[in-house]
Amino acid sequence: MTVREHVPLASLTTLRVGGTARFVIECLSENDVVDALAFSTERMLPWRVLGEGSNVLARDEPYEGVILLMRNEGIEASTEGDHVFLTAGAGVSWDTFVREAAARELWGIENLAGIPGTVGAAPVQNIGAYGAEVKDTIHTLRVLDTRTGEISVLTNEACEFGYRDSAFKRDSGRIILSVTFALSETPAPSLSYKDLTSAAERGEDLSTPHAIGEVVRAIRALKFPDLSCVGTAGSFFKNPTVSVETYESLKARNPAIPGFLNETGVKIPLAFVLDKVLGLRGYTQGAVSLYDAQPLVLVARNGATAHDIDTFANAIAARVQDEVGIVIEREVQKLP
C-alpha cells in the first residue's frame, strides 16, 4: 500500500481539474483496500474510491480525505458449458479487459471497446455503447461492504442496473473488488447501430470480437477527444428519454430528430438537440466548450476550473430545459 499526500486531483481525473487530496492510497490488492479503510478510520477522515477518474468532476477545494485508487489487477478464466467466465480485478483498465476477451475470441463486450475507465467502475454506471450494456455480461461482483467489513458476492439482479445507472450510484458504502463476466464462444455480433451498419456497408471486417473492437475504437477516435490532449470525461450528460408526446412535438419542429422507443418513452440523442435544435455545437465559455465532433462531450482546456465546468454544464442544462422543455441529467458524478 503506497500513501501519497497532497496530490492534485487534476492528475487523477481525466477532466484534469480540482484541488488536492489530503491522502491518496494506491490499492494493489483487496488487503490494501481493507488497510486503506483502516487508515481513514484511524484518522477519522472520509474516503472515496477512484478508478481512472474518467467520469468524475473533482471540486476546486482541497479534499480533506483519503482517495483509494483501485489498482488491483489480474484476469482469471473458468468455463461452464457454452459460457466462459472471466474474472477481473476492479483496477484492470476496461479496454485492456475488452482486448483480453477478444484475444480469447469471447463475445459480449466487443461493442464496449475503447471506453475509458476501469473494470470496477464499469458496473457503477452500467457503461453502454452501440446497443450493448455491461449489465448483459455481468455474472457476479465481489464487493466489500465498508459498514460491516464483510466481503460478499452479489448477483447481477442485486445491482439494480438501469440506463447508465446501478445501485452503486445510490450506495457508495460498497466497494467493488472484482467482477465476473459471463462471455460466449458462440459468435453473436450486434451491429444494429448506424455507425456499425455503415462500417458493415463499407465492407469493414466485423467477423470477430477483435475486429469489431478495432472498428469501434476507430469510430470513437473520430468522435471523442484524445484524453492525453484535453480535459474531458466523454459524454457529460445522459441521453434523455422523453414522452411520446414531447418527442412528437419536437419532431414536428425538427423532422430529422432520431428517436428510439423504449419501455418508458422515446430516447433521443442529446447531441442532436444541442447541435441542431439549439445551435450549440462548439459552444464555448472561457476555457470550457462543447466538443465540435460530438456536442455531448464537454472539453476543458488548460486554465479551466471545476467551478467553470460546473457553471458551463448548468448553463447548458438550463438552455435545454428552458428552450426545449427537457430536464437532462449528468452522467459525470461530482467528487466527493
Work out whether 207 is an interface residue with ligand NAP (CB under 6 A).
no
Is residue 98 near ligand NAP by the rule CB under 6 A? Answer: no
User: Minimum distance between the CB of residue 30 and ligand NAP, rounded to whole angstroms?
Assistant: 26
Of 225 and 234, CB closest to ligand NAP = 234
Question: Which cell numbers hold the place of 191?
Answer: 451491429
Q: Is 73 a catalytic residue?
A: no
Q: For Cα atoms 14, 17, 22, give the angle at the middle one, nearest 5 degrees.
A: 100
Residue 281 annotated as catalytic = no
State the amino acid at position 192 in one-letter form. Answer: S
Is residue 296 close enough to count as binding ligand NAP by CB under 6 A?
Answer: yes
Applying CB under 6 A, does 138 fall inside the site for ligand NAP? no
Q: Which is nearer to ligand NAP, 26 or 136 (CB)?
A: 136
CB 69 within 8 A of CB 9: no
Question: At 301, is the secondary structure helix, strand, or coil?
Answer: coil
Cell numbers 481512472: residue = 52
Q: How far is the CB of 129 from ligand NAP (least distance, A)?
A: 3
Q: What whole-number distance in Å separates Cα of residue 112 and Cα of residue 133?
A: 8
Nearer to ligand NAP, 101 or 233 (CB): 233
Annotated active-site residue 331? The verdict is yes
Nearer to ligand NAP, 39 or 291 (CB): 291
Q: Looking at 84-92, 150-158, 263-271, 305-313, which segment touches ligand NAP (CB under 6 A)?
A: 263-271
Residues 6+ apart with CB under 8 A from 67: 7, 9, 12, 21, 23, 24, 25, 47, 48, 49, 50
CB 325 within 8 A of CB 333: no
CB of 112 to ligand NAP, least distance (A): 8
The amino acid at residue 306 is A
Q: Where are the alpha helices (DSSP H) in 184-269?
A: 194-201, 209-223, 244-253
Sign of CA dihedral 191, 196, 201, 207: negative
3-state secondary structure of 137: coil
Binds ligand NAP (CB under 6 A): choice among 143, 234, 250, 273: 234
The reply to whether 216 sits near ligand NAP by the rule CB under 6 A is no
List 87, 118, 146, 235, residue binding ligand NAP (CB under 6 A): 235
Residue 13 or 235 with smaller CB distance to ligand NAP: 235
* Long-range contacts at 246-255 (CB < 8 A, ≥ 24 apart): 246/325, 246/326, 250/277, 250/324, 253/277
Of the residues 89, 128, 209, 231, which one makes contact with ligand NAP according to CB under 6 A: 128
The footprint of ligand NAP (CB under 6 A) covers 115, 127-130, 164, 192-195, 223, 234-235, 239, 260, 267, 269, 271, 294, 296, 331
User: Catalytic residue numbers?
Assistant: 164, 235, 331
